[in-house]
Amino acid sequence: MPLSIEPIMSNKRFSFYVLAVALAASLMGAWAPAQAVISDDEIRVGLMVDMNSIYSHITGQGSVVAAQMAIEDVGGKVAGKPIRLIHADHANSVERARELAQDWLYAQGVDVIADVASSPLALAVQEVNRKRGAVVFYNGVMSSEITGAKCAPTGIHWMYDGYAYNTVIGRELTRAGGRKWFFVTVDNAFGINVEASLAAIVRTAGGEVVGSLRHPMGERYMFAKLRQASESGAQVIALVNAGQDLIDAVRDSFDLLKVSKGQIVLAAPASALNDVHTMRPQLAQGLRLSHSFYWNQDDEARAWSKRFHERMGAMPSDLQAGVYSSLMHYFKAVAATGSDDGLTVVRKMREIPIRDPIVRNARLREDGRMVHDIYLLQVKKPAEVTEPWDYLKILRTVPGDEAFRPIAEGGCPLVRTSRSAP
């Protein structure tokens, strides 16, 4: 005999009860935080860094320290669950990065990955993660395709990209009178792509490219190429290279630029604070660069950077600072939602304000691009340096909406076609 509810309540009363329960459930869903749905009862953070290759000085152990600082600053827990940090060296190898991402995301249950400097590696990790849907922060990647045609729902481009850096360097220097440009470029995909982008921005701003030379990665002596650049009539020589190549080029250019008596400006769109530290202001003075963070940009950044310096013996690069900033925002979103589900966390990350010691005037766009202020800087003269690592002065703060590519121009399929906001 089937069970009957009639002895308990009438059909009319039962219908009312069902309606009331449904309404209560709806209200709870709207107002109550999500249930603590933390997979494996812990938050697993994977840090994919370059420990021994060409980007180790701007990521490496410094990125590990920045991640540790973020975890400590939230008390080692979020949403009541412990945070576990793992890190590995990608060795600047696409295959190695792909293998790490596959293992971390599908075997070890990593919830969030950070750093992943280098465009080829980032694009590989983006594809591995596309189905898994964990949150991945790309803290130092020049390629804008991460938030363009190759965008993903949980892929977040946190610090700089090539479009922003090239815009700030190319447009601002051209407008300031540097209308004739010469490029000395490393002969690989990175150099060729950055040069093409920067040259387009220079021309749009009213400048012209009077010449270009390529050099292989690792070329130690570039004096002849730089002399040709200095004799071309160029007002700006752009060094489109990085790491040791950039350092060697700046050293080789010193005597040539000294002769020019300030008539030629040297620009480095892919330079880092650590590069300047190696070169010293004696050689690098006057060099123009763009950064997404500078340790001495204000009191809040300075205080955080001093903490970092106590551990590392060096001031942070913008990539290392970005690791801290991105993870802190991630932890806030996990705490607010009680979940480590990638889509849930990213939605909340777009809602809550981004405010920390690192970035200013920041917001997270629908395409995964974090928009914030970018700085045009100049290396100080030795006499202007007042303390260790005090190498740069900010010439202009460029608002993010002026620096980063407008969302409508990126081609990200996640963006509504009707959207017209920058």
**Tens-place pLDDT, residues 192-230:** 988 999 999 999 999 999 999 999 988 888 999 999 999
Percentage of the chain beyond pLDDT 90 is 76
Location of structure tokens 């991460």 = 146
pLDDT at 33: 41
Residue 306 has pLDDT above 90, yes or no: yes
pLDDT computed for residue 259 by the predictor: 61
**Structural domain includes residue 250:** yes
Q: Convert 83-119 to b/e letters by CB count within 10 Å (16 or more is b).
A: bbbebbbbbbbeebbbebbeebbeeeebbbbbbbbbb
Does residue 361 lie in a domain region? Answer: yes
Closest Cα to residue 112, out of 281, 371, 327, 289? 327
Buried b (16+ CB within 10 A) or exposed e, 306-321: ebbeeebebbbbbbbb
Please state, in angstroms and rounded to a whole number, the distance separating the CA atoms of residues 248 and 242.
Answer: 10
Instruction: Establish if 307 belongs to a structural domain.
Output: yes
Q: Are 177 and 235 contained in the same domain?
A: yes
100 with 194, same domain: the answer is: no
Does 22 score more than 60 pLDDT?
A: no
- For residues 240 and 171, state if they share a domain: yes
Which tens digits make up the pLDDT trace of 174-184? 999 999 999 99
The string of DSSP codes covering 12-60 is: HHHHHHHHHHHHHHHHHHHHSPPP-B-GGGSEEEEEEE-SSSTTTTTSH
Structural domain for 280, as ranges: 164-295+377-385+390-400
- Stretch 108-134: mean pLDDT: 95
| Residue 136, in any domain of the structure | yes
Q: Per the domain annotation, does 261 fall within a domain?
A: yes
Regarding whether 363 and 289 lie in a shared domain, the answer is no
Please list the residues that pair with 283 across neighbouring strands: none
210 shares its domain with 117: no
Q: Is the pLDDT of residue 9 over 70?
A: no
- Say if 414 falls within a structural domain: no
- Both 308 and 335 in one domain: the answer is yes
Same domain assignment for residues 107 and 216 = no
Residues 228-244: tens digit of each pLDDT: 999 999 999 999 998 88
Q: For the chain, what is the domain count?
A: 2
**Distance (Å, whole) CA 351 – CA 324:** 19
Q: How many whole angstroms separate alpha carbon 224 and alpha carbon 239?
A: 14
Give per-residue pLDDT as tens, 74-96: 999 999 999 999 999 999 899 99
Question: For residue 124, is it within any domain?
Answer: yes
CB 150 within 8 A of CB 122: no
> 267 and 343 share a domain?
no
- Residue 128 CB-density burial (10 A; 0-12 exposed, 13-18 middle, 19+ buried): buried
* pLDDT surpassing 60 at residue 5: no
Same domain as 278, residue 381: yes
Say yes or no: 232 and 209 in one domain. Answer: yes
Q: Is the confidence at residue 118, as pLDDT, over 50?
A: yes
Largest CA distance in the chain: 103
Q: Which residue from 300, 302, 276, 303 is spatially nearest to 287, judged by alpha carbons?
A: 276
Q: In terms of domains, do 361 and 247 share one?
A: no
Query: What confidence score (pLDDT) does residue 142 get?
Result: 87
Q: Is the pLDDT of residue 1 over 60?
A: no
For position 347, what pLDDT does the model report? 97
Query: Which of the pair, 100 or 162, is modelled with greater confidence?
Result: 100
Average pLDDT, integer, range 249-259: 82
3-state secondary structure of 120: helix
pLDDT tier for residue 298 given thresholds of 50, 70 and 90:
very high
- What the block records as the tokens of 22 is 């449904």
Which 8-state DSSP code applies to residue 218?
T
Mean pLDDT value across the chain: 88
Is residue 239 included in any domain, yes or no? Answer: yes
CATH number at residue 176: 3.40.50.2300
> What's the sign of the alpha-carbon dihedral 148, 103, 41, 49?
negative
| Mean pLDDT, residues 338-355 | 97
- Does residue 102 sit in the same domain as residue 228? no
- Residue count of the chain: 422
**Is the per-residue pLDDT at 17 higher than 90?**
no
